[in-house]
Amino acid sequence: MNFLYPDFLWAISLIAIPIAIHLFNFRKYKKVYFSDISLLKNINSQTKKQSRLKHLLVLLSRILALICLVLAFSYPYKPLKNNSNFDQKYVGIYIDNSLSMDNKNQNGFIIEQAKEKALEIINQYPTNTRYIYTTNDFDANLQRDISKAEIQDLISKTKATYLQKSYAEIYSKQADLLKNFTKNKDVFWLSDLPKSTTISNLAIDSSVFVHIVPFTNKSNGNLFIDTVWFDTPIRRINKQELINVKLINTYESDLNFRIEALINNNETKGINNGTIDANSSLTIPVPFMIRQAGIKHIALEISDYGDPNLIFDDNYFLTYSINSATNVLHIFEEHDKNYFNSLLNTLENVNYTPCSINSVDYSKIRDQDLIIIENVSEINSGLIASLQEFIEVGKSVVVFPSGTINNSSYNNFYRKYAIQFNGIDTTRKSIANLNYEHPIFNAVFDQVKENINFPVVNENHKVNLLSNSMSNEIISMSNNQPFLIETLEKEGKLYTFTLSTLARSSNFLNHALFVPTILRIVERCQVQNPLSYIIGKHQMVKSKINLSQSSDLSVKKENDDDVFIPGYKKKQQSSVLFFKNTIKNPGNFNVLNKQLAIDGFSFNYSREESAMEFFSIQEFLSLLKENELINFFHVFENIDSNTTLDLTSQTKGILYWKHFIVLTLVFLGLEILFIRIIK
C-alpha cells in the first residue's frame, strides 16, 4: 500500500492525547462517610473491574478512530502495474485537434469537450507540475516543458486543424520530449479514436504510460470528393476535357448530388450530377473546355445532401498549365536530311532550335521541354550530366544513335538506366510489334489492321535491357530486338531508338509512322507538376520558374488578399518553393513575380478522416491486446461532459481512503456504545 500524502502520517502521534487522558485521572472525588463499609468494599471491587474494562475499550476505540482518520487523509492506495507517482513533476497532454474533432455529438463540439477534460486533468495535479503539450500542429515552440498557467492558456487557444498525425507519431513525439525527465511518466490522449490510423508498430518506452480519454463521434456517414485525375497527361485548348472525380458515399442511403468545376473564376465551367448508391464509390467525368493557354485553376465543389457540418471535403482544388509553346532543342552531328526541321519548325506551338553537337549552349538546356539527340557518335561527359539532370526534373529526351558510335560513351550515359549497347546488327528485318495501348499510340489508330506495312530496318544497335531497368519496349522488331524503348526516370522520360536516322539504316523517317510518333512524344514532353498537394504533408513544390533572385517573389491565394513570401531554391534544371506550414487552408495559389502570375499550384485537405469511422472503446481495447500494448495503455470508460475524471483511482490503482473513513465512524460509534452500555 502506498500513500499519496505520506506527511499526514505524522498525525498518528496525536494518539498520545487520549492515552494521556486515560492514564491520568483528572476527575475530582467527594468524600462520603459511612458507618459500615463492608458492603461497599464488595461493590467497589466489582466497579473497578468494570470501569477498567470500559476505559480500555473507550481508549482503544478512540485510538483506532484517530489512526483511521489520519490514514484516510494520507490517501492510501494500491498501485497498478506500470503506474507512476501521482506527485510526479512531468505530465504529457495530447489533444487530437483534427477536423473530425470539430464535429458535434450529443454534448456539443467534441474539441471543446476535450479541452475541458484536459483542464480537469491539469487541475488534479500539484501546482508545480510541468507539462508537455502536444497537438496535431507539432508546434516548434512546444519542444519544452511548460507550467500549469502556460498549458491552460494554450489549451484555451487550441483550434481544429487540417493536420493529422498517426498514433505512432504522437507516441514517439511525447516519449522523445519526456525521455530526459522522471523515470515514470503519465501521458493523456484526448481523441475520438479515428480508424484512419492504427496503433501498431509503436516503439514502446516502458517508462511511459498512456491514458486515453475517448470521445464519441458520429459515424453517420459522409459524401466527399476523394481523388481527381485526368485520363491522359496532355492538356489542350479548344478541345473538350474530361476530369474524373471519384466520390465516396459512406451513408446508409443513396444520395443525389451536383458537382461543378469552376475554372479560373468563371473563365469556363463544367457541371455534372447524378445519384450515388449507399456505401459505395462513383467516378463521374466533368466536361469542360479551355479556350486559351496559361495557368488553369480548377475549383470543384459537390453539393452534399448529408450532414451540413461536414464540409471540409466537399471542395477539391487543382492546377495545371497549358504552355503557349513547347521548346524543342535538336542536337545533331550528321543527317541526310533534317526531317525534324521539316516536321517541327512549321508548328505554331513549337519553338524548334537546331544545334550542332559542337556548339551546344549548356546554359539554355534548362529552358527546353524536349531534347532530340540525332546521329551523335559520342556523348561527352558534360552532355551526359546535363541530359541526366534534364530527365530527372521531368523533361524528355529522344536519342537516335549514330550508325557508328563510341560504345563506351553511350554505355556511360545509359548505365544509369540499366541499358547496354552491344554492337551492330546488319540483318534485314522489319517492325513486328507495336504497343497500341501505350499513350503515344492509343489515340493514333482508330482501329488496328492486320498485315500493316511497317518500316524496314537494315541496321540497328543491339541493345540489352538489364533486369533492373525501368524501361519497356514500345516498338520491337521481327527478331525480338527493341526498336523504340521508353525509360521512366523519376518524373522524366527517355526515348531510345536503336537505329540512326540515316537512310541506310531504315526507311522509318519516310514512313507514315514517323510523324505521329514524334508529334506524340512532343505533346507528352510538357512537364506537369502534381495537380494538387496535401496540406501539412507537402512543404515544398517544384516550379518551372527561373529567377536569378527571389526578392520580388510572392504567393497569393485565389480570391484572397493574403500574400506571403515563400522560400526559393534554384537548381540547375528546376526550382523549388518552400512553405514551412504557411499554407493552412485549401485553395488555388498563384506564384507572383512583381505581381505577375508565373506559376500556380493547389492544396487540399487530406481525405484520411473523410470516411468518419471511429473505434469504439471495446474495439480499441481489442486493438491494444492484439498489438500487445495493453500493459502500456489505459482507456477511460463511460466518460462524458458530465463525468469528472478521477485520476487518482484511474491512474494509481485501488483507493482505500473511503474505507478508513467508514472505519473511523465505526470506532467512534463503538466508543459511544461503550460509554453508554458499560456502567
Tell me the pLDDT tens digit for each residue of 642-665: 667 767 655 555 677 788 899 999
Q: What are phi and psi of 2, to 5 degrees?
A: -115, 165
Residues in CB range of 482: below 8 A, 6 or more apart: 463, 465, 473, 475, 476, 498
- Which pLDDT belongs to residue 501? 93
- Smallest CA-to-CA distance from 549 within 527, 525, 565 is with 565
Q: Residue 70 phi/psi, 5° resolution?
A: -65, -40
The fold adopted by the segment(s) 326-524 is Rossmann fold (3.40.50)
DSSP tag of 640: -
pLDDT digits (tens, 9 = 90+) for 233-262: 778 888 888 999 999 988 888 888 889 999
Q: Fold identical between 223-322 and 326-524? A: no
What is the C-alpha to C-alpha distance for residues 491 and 396, in angstroms, rounded to an integer? 9
pLDDT of amino acid 48: 63
> pLDDT digits over 581-640, tens only?
788 889 999 999 888 898 999 999 888 878 778 888 899 999 899 888 888 888 888 776
DSSP per-residue string spanning 108-130: EEHHHHHHHHHHHHHHTS-TT-E
* Of 143, 189, 145, 139, the residue nearest 161 (C-alpha): 139
Domain ranges of the chain: 2-74+662-677, 90-219+613-645, 223-322, 326-524, 544-595
Q: For 292-325, what is each residue's pLDDT tens digit?
A: 888 999 999 987 555 555 566 789 999 998 887 8
CA dihedral 514→519→525→529, nearest 10 degrees, is -140
- Identify the CA nearest to 96 among candidates 243, 240, 232, 213: 213
CA dist 226 and 605 (Å) reads 10
Question: Burial of 234 by CB count in 10 Å (0-12 exposed, 13-18 middle, 19+ buried)?
Answer: middle
Residue 660 contacts residue 4 (beta carbons within 8 Å):
no
**Nearest Cα residue to 251 out of 211, 293, 289, 221:** 221
Predicted TM-score of the model (pTM)? 0.68
Instruction: Output the pLDDT for position 653.
Output: 59
| Helix and strand numbers, DSSP H then E, in the chain | 12, 36
Neighbour count for residue 538 (Cβ, 10 Å):
14
Q: Per residue in 543-578, is it b (16+ CB within 10 Å) or e — as a string?
A: bbbeeeebeebbbbbbeeeeeeebebebeebbbebe
Which amino acid makes up residue 501? T
Residue closest to 565 by CA, chosen among 578, 574, 575? 578
Rg, C-alpha atoms of the chain: 40
Measure the CA–CA gap between 351 and 526, rounded to whole angstroms: 13
Pairwise CA distance, residues 334 & 314, whole Å: 57
Q: Which distant-in-sequence residues (6+ apart) come within 8 Å of 104 by Cβ? A: 110, 218, 309
What average pLDDT does the chain have?
85
DSSP state letter for 101: G
Select from 666, 664, 671 the least CA-distant residue to 60.
671
Q: Which top CATH class is 90-219+613-645?
A: alpha beta
- Distance from C-alpha of 270 to C-alpha of 248, rounded to nearest angstrom: 20
**What is the structure's pLDDT at 496?**
97
Whether residue 513 has pLDDT greater than 80: yes
Q: Smallest Cα–Cα separation from 617: which of 187, 214, 197, 105?
A: 214
pLDDT (tens digit per residue) in 334-359 = 877 888 998 998 887 899 999 999 99
Half-sphere exposure for 177 (CA within 13 Å, toward CB): 27
DSSP H or E run through 401? strand 396-401
| Close Cβ partners of 347 (under 8 Å, ≥ 6 residues apart) | none
In this structure, the dihedral spanned by the alpha carbons of residues 424, 427, 433 and 438, taken in order and rounded to 10 degrees, is: 20
What class, spelled out in words, does domain 223-322 have in CATH? mainly beta
